[in-house]
Amino acid sequence: MARIADRLSELGLSLPAPMTAPPGVELPFRPVRVSGGHAYVSGHIAIDGAEVLFRGKVGSDVPLERAHEAARATGLSMLASLEQELGDLDRVTRWVKALGLVNCAPGFNQTPAVMNGFTNLILDLWGPDAGGHARSSIGVAELPFDAPVEVEAVVEVG
Amino acid sequence: MARIADRLSELGLSLPAPMTAPPGVELPFRPVRVSGGHAYVSGHIAIDGAEVLFRGKVGSDVPLERAHEAARATGLSMLASLEQELGDLDRVTRWVKALGLVNCAPGFNQTPAVMNGFTNLILDLWGPDAGGHARSSIGVAELPFDAPVEVEAVVEVG
Amino acid sequence: MARIADRLSELGLSLPAPMTAPPGVELPFRPVRVSGGHAYVSGHIAIDGAEVLFRGKVGSDVPLERAHEAARATGLSMLASLEQELGDLDRVTRWVKALGLVNCAPGFNQTPAVMNGFTNLILDLWGPDAGGHARSSIGVAELPFDAPVEVEAVVEVG
């Protein structure tokens, strides 16, 4: 069993520490909330415990390739929260929806190319059937901690 | 039968070709994902196959009236994806929620007036009971392909 | 009974009049839409009937402390809509998810600190178990009526 954990190892990936609030910051919400067969996942940035891994605006401070990497790392941070909440990532039986938020410098609109870093991670781990999901990729004005990418999601849990 | 298709004809409307990725762009997500009695619809722009129909920022490049038209066309693109996924638009038994994203020039905040182009299309086709939906209309910094409007949605499917 | 109404009184809070469209504005959507055991709540701003209570960009026109107050007032406006739709706030048995949108001046990214005004109101009223929710807090370019904060939500209804 532990299919997803095994697949992470095969891909040479490991999960960061689950998100905790950086010093002086209050984050009084739940990283994951389960309701009616779905887990609703809070907006996540790429973070290792309380250490923010990427900062800056995409298209100026952060080039596309690095933003794509940040989106993939954001996925790993989200999986750390899901594992903490659910006990086992195999309980995520199907991905449903993701909302990708890209901290865009003026004029940068290749937001789908950035979010592919997240989507391809999920497809690599769950495969095209269980991992396939609806998605939006939008350019926002600001993100918490000046992160370049934030993603929230809805998944089915078994 | 084919109530929604008939209603489209009565209104003189036709659906564009379902969204496909423009050349050089990878869109590895699902336009529609069905889960637990709902269809989650990815963020859609007004598109005919791979041809982006409207571009520019609302309030500068794109005046309000044209943005309203873009929001209505965005709805038709969403219906093309729903028809492709579900086989028949009559399977959309009830609208639940839409998130409208408007690519705003600085200082333009009449985002609800823009999104009415989408909402009124849905009400024209499904009527006030089945077509009524919760909604947000926000102004974002950038949208994919420089589209003026993007909409994602959740609907009930029978 | 009337637990939440009692708790509002204990805290010295009262609900504003439910949102109505300001003159000259059409808002043809539902403030709340119930589907499959959940209520989907439209994006709300802090409003008393048709009177917009706060305006301006956070970080320039509106300082953090006042934006936090606006987020709390936004929660009260949302509760007015839920009470109107459901008849009784005790029918909201559990909070699931909130999406917080902050109208940010360039460079302001303390969006979680703003949204804590909303989240702490819900926790004050429903307690940590029923009131806990997943959340995102993002900085957007523009909001309707130049509001500093908008929040949409999903809750369980009994």
Task: Please give the ipTM for the structure prediction.
Answer: 0.96
Cα separation, C107 vs C149, in Å, equals 16
Cα separation, A19 vs A78, in Å, equals 9
As a whole number, mean pLDDT of residues A78-93 equals 98
In the predicted model, residues of chain B with pLDDT beneath 50 are none
Cα separation, C123 vs A148, in Å, equals 30
Report chain C's terminal Cα–Cα distance, integer Å. Answer: 15
State residue B1's pLDDT score. 66
pLDDT tops 80 at residue C138: yes
Quick one: CA dihedral B56, B59, B65, B69, positive or negative? positive
A31 touches chain C (CB under 8 A): yes
Chain C residues whose CB is inside 8 A of the B141 CB are 140-141
pLDDT tops 80 at residue A1: no
pLDDT digits (tens, 9 = 90+) for A59-74: 999 999 999 999 999 9
As a whole number, mean pLDDT of residues C73-81 equals 98
Task: Please choose, from the candidates C42, C28, C143, the residue with its C-alpha nearest in 3D space to the C-alpha of residue B119.
Answer: C28
A132 touches chain B (CB under 8 A): yes
A122 touches chain B (CB under 8 A): no
Q: Does the predicted TM-score (pTM) go above 0.90?
A: yes
Facing residue for B138 by CB, picked from C29, C36, C143: C143
Question: CA angle A130-A135-A139, nearest 5°?
Answer: 150
Read off the tokens for B72: 């209505």
State residue C1's pLDDT score. 66
Cα separation, C149 vs C53, in Å, equals 11
Nearest-by-CA chain A residue for C98:
A42
Instruction: Name the neighbours of C, counting chains with at least 3 Cβ pairs within 8 A.
Output: A, B
Entry field: residues in chain A: 158
Which of C137, C151, C152 has the highest number of chain A CBs within 10 A, making it the mutation to test binding with A? C137
Closest chain A C-alpha to B68 CA, distance in angstroms: 19
B53 touches chain A (CB under 8 A): no
**DSSP code for B102:** E
Which of A97, A108, A116, A157 has the highest number of chain B CBs within 10 A, making it the mutation to test binding with B? A97
Give backbone dihedrals phi and psi of B15, rounded to 5 degrees, phi first.
Answer: -85, 145
State residue C74's pLDDT score. 98
Read off the tokens for C70: 């606006």
Domain boundaries B3-17+29-157, corresponding CATH code: 3.30.1330.40
Instruction: Name the neighbours of B, counting chains with at least 3 Cβ pairs within 8 A.
Output: A, C
Which of A29, A103, A137 has the highest number of chain C CBs within 10 A, making it the mutation to test binding with C? A29
Domain parsing of chain A, residue ranges: 3-18+30-157
> What percentage of chain C has pLDDT greater than the value 70?
99
State residue B137's pLDDT score. 98
As a whole number, mean pLDDT of residues C123-150 equals 98
Fold assignment, C3-18+29-157: 60s Ribosomal Protein L30; Chain: A; (3.30.1330)
Chain B residues whose CB is inside 8 A of the A113 CB are 25-26
State residue A120's pLDDT score. 98
CATH C-level class of A3-18+30-157: alpha beta
CB pairs under 8 A between A and B: 87
